[in-house]
Amino acid sequence: MKKSFSNKSLMTSFVISFLLICNSNILGQSNKSNETFVVPAGGNTWLVDNISDTIKVITDNGITNWAKIENKFRIYFKLTKVGKLQLSLNAKVYSGESKIKCSINGQSYEVKINNTDFKDIFICNIDIIQPGYQYIEIEGIEKSDNVFAEINSVLLSGDVTEGKVYFVHDDFYWGRRGPSVHLSYQIPEEVREVKWFYNEIKVPEGEDVIGSYFMANGFAFGYFGIQVNSETERRVLFSVWSPYETQNPDEIPEEYKIELMDKSDGVYSGEFGSEGSGGQSYLKYNWKAGSVYKFLLKGEPTNNNHTIFTAYFFAPEVGEWKLIASFNRPFTDSYLTKLYSFLENFHTETGNISRKAFYTNQWVCDSQNNWYELTKAKFTADATARKDARMDYTGGIEYGEFFLKNCGFFDETTKIDSWYSKNPQNNKPNIDFSRLK
């Protein structure tokens, strides 16, 4: 009896284990091949050729208040595997029925929406033959209400979802701005006190996109570069952070405030917040794509636990160095350190447009007036890139020069924390410091 009971128990255990293993394998295959990715419209949608309407019709909730038939939307995502893609929309109408057109990879599909609660609406099955960034384009055809539809998300399923799928999951503000990219310059070991930092920037024609900040001379306590602020305004911007950590400049105690020492006529000066706080200055100047602009930054301690940081800008159209501003930073006894450049987009409405700049001819000059060329830099990127929310970023060396490029949903991606070296140019700046204001 005992032996019979043991055999029966073993057989029962074997059958149960076999069924569990089979069921587990079936579930695993099902989850892998039928996984659905929900791409939020709020963080992954842009209007085509219509920046001004963006804030009216794209919110964190997705596409809303869509009344104009001329509005055309694109929702972006990146696929790493080819194969079948099933597309659906999570959408609704306020009342009646709307007809919209959804296009992907040159194929278009008409979709009717008549549900007044959010519902998943099938669009198509399509073959993806090339991995990389894709977009679904959405246009209105006709509507019976004032608004075409509200669109909450795009749903992706099929073979392609077995590979990695990239899109903005959260932090929509930063995701829509796009990834910021940087070059951190290596200072030669023999340099002890960097008093001056020189750099040049050339923005190729067509790359001067609204919302771009091409930052040339960054350091441990601030940054200095050029911006595209609107269709009619461009700036040369120089900012220094207060040693008091806050996002609100009004909270900075008097003894921690950045003091303006000097500036040129026409330069605005004030305070800034939101990304740290401190002193800010800018010159409205219509710099031009295709031209080379020069930047010179000075950092010198004053021997009373203060350091004065001064920025100069050279435009070829003017032909001389212009003082932007000079700031006194308290509780600081330091020459220039942590030298870097960056490229960022500060307009969420233009995060779908690529921009690029060349950062050329970097030099430092020490406190004894010895010049040293910088030829090595590390490429880095911000949290948006590091968490794979956006993959459209690159940088390194091109045509023998350092460069940075971001936004626009191109497929090239540079490995973060990569080092790059360029050949020395031996083109030392010819600057008479005594003639600078």
Taking residues 298-311, what's their average pLDDT?
Answer: 95
> Residues 153, 297: one domain?
no
> Residues 310, 278: one domain?
yes
Q: What distance in Å separates the CA atoms of residue 379 and residue 342, rounded to the nearest whole number?
A: 10
Among 167, 190, 219, the domain boundary falls at: 167
> Residues 196, 333: one domain?
yes
Mean pLDDT of the chain: 91
Taking residues 116-120, what's their average pLDDT?
Answer: 97
Taking residues 408-424, what's their average pLDDT?
Answer: 98
The confidence band for 416, taking pLDDT boundaries of 50, 70 and 90, is very high
pLDDT at 34: 64
The confidence band for 255, taking pLDDT boundaries of 50, 70 and 90, is confident
Structural domain contains residue 13: no
pLDDT at 343: 99
pLDDT at 252: 84
Among 144, 167, 190, the domain boundary falls at: 167
> Is a pLDDT exceeding 50 seen at residue 261?
yes
> Residues 393, 283: one domain?
yes
Tally the domains of the chain: 2
> Residues 227, 140: one domain?
no
Range of the domain at 91: 37-167
> Is a pLDDT exceeding 50 seen at residue 135?
yes
Reported as a single tens digit per residue, the pLDDT across 16-41 is: 343 333 333 323 333 355 689 999 99
User: Angle 156-157-162 (CA atoms, 0-180°, nearest 5)?
Assistant: 115
> Residues 163, 82: one domain?
yes
> Residues 201, 240: one domain?
yes
> Residues 132, 227: one domain?
no
Taking residues 365-380, what's their average pLDDT?
Answer: 97
What percentage of residues in the chain have a pLDDT greater than 90?
84
Structural domain contains residue 32: no
Structural domain contains residue 219: yes
Reported as a single tens digit per residue, the pLDDT across 328-360 is: 999 999 999 999 999 999 999 999 999 999 999
> Residues 261, 122: one domain?
no
> Residues 64, 105: one domain?
yes
More confident residue, 97 or 255: 97
Structural domain contains residue 140: yes
pLDDT at 170: 97
> Is a pLDDT exceeding 80 seen at residue 327?
yes
pTM of the model: 0.89
CATH for 372 = 2.60.120
pLDDT at 95: 96
More confident residue, 347 or 256: 347
Structural domain contains residue 12: no
Query: Between the CA of residue 314 and those of 102, 171, 320, 325, 329, what are the distances in Å?
Result: 49, 38, 6, 13, 24
The confidence band for 425, taking pLDDT boundaries of 50, 70 and 90, is very high
Structural domain contains residue 217: yes
The confidence band for 273, taking pLDDT boundaries of 50, 70 and 90, is low
More confident residue, 51 or 44: 44
More confident residue, 247 or 326: 326
Among 107, 133, 167, the domain boundary falls at: 167
CATH for 152 = 2.60.120.260
> Is a pLDDT exceeding 60 seen at residue 3?
no
For the chain, what is the HEC assignment? CHHHHHHHHHHHHHHHHHHHHHHHHHHHHHHHHCCCEEEEHHHHEEECCCHHHHHHHEECCEECCCCCCCCEEEEEEEECCCEEEEEEEEEECCCCCEEEEEEECCEEEEEEECCCCCEEEEEEEEEECCCEEEEEEEEEEEECCCCCCEEEEEEEECHHHHCCEECCCCCHHHHHHCCCEEEEECCCCCCCCEEEEEEEEECCCCCCCCCEEEEEEEECCEEEEEEECCCCCEEEEEEEECCCCCCCHHHCCHHHCCEEEEECCCEEEEEECCCCCEEEEEEECCCCCCCEEEEEEEEEECCCCEEEEEEEEECCCCCCEEEEEEEEEECCCCCCCCCEEEEEECCHHHCCCCEEEEEEEEEEEECCCCEEECCEEEEEECHHHHCCCCCCEEEEEECCEEEEEECCCCCCECCCCEEEECCCCCCCCCCCHHHCC
> Residues 254, 375: one domain?
yes
Taking residues 240-264, what's their average pLDDT?
Answer: 87
> Residues 301, 336: one domain?
yes
Q: What distance in Å separates the CA atoms of residue 135 and residue 126, rounded to the nearest whole number?
A: 13
> Is a pLDDT exceeding 60 seen at residue 57?
yes
Structural domain contains residue 325: yes
pLDDT at 270: 81
Structural domain contains residue 374: yes
Reported as a single tens digit per residue, the pLDDT across 60-113 is: 999 999 999 999 999 999 999 999 999 999 999 999 999 999 999 999 999 999
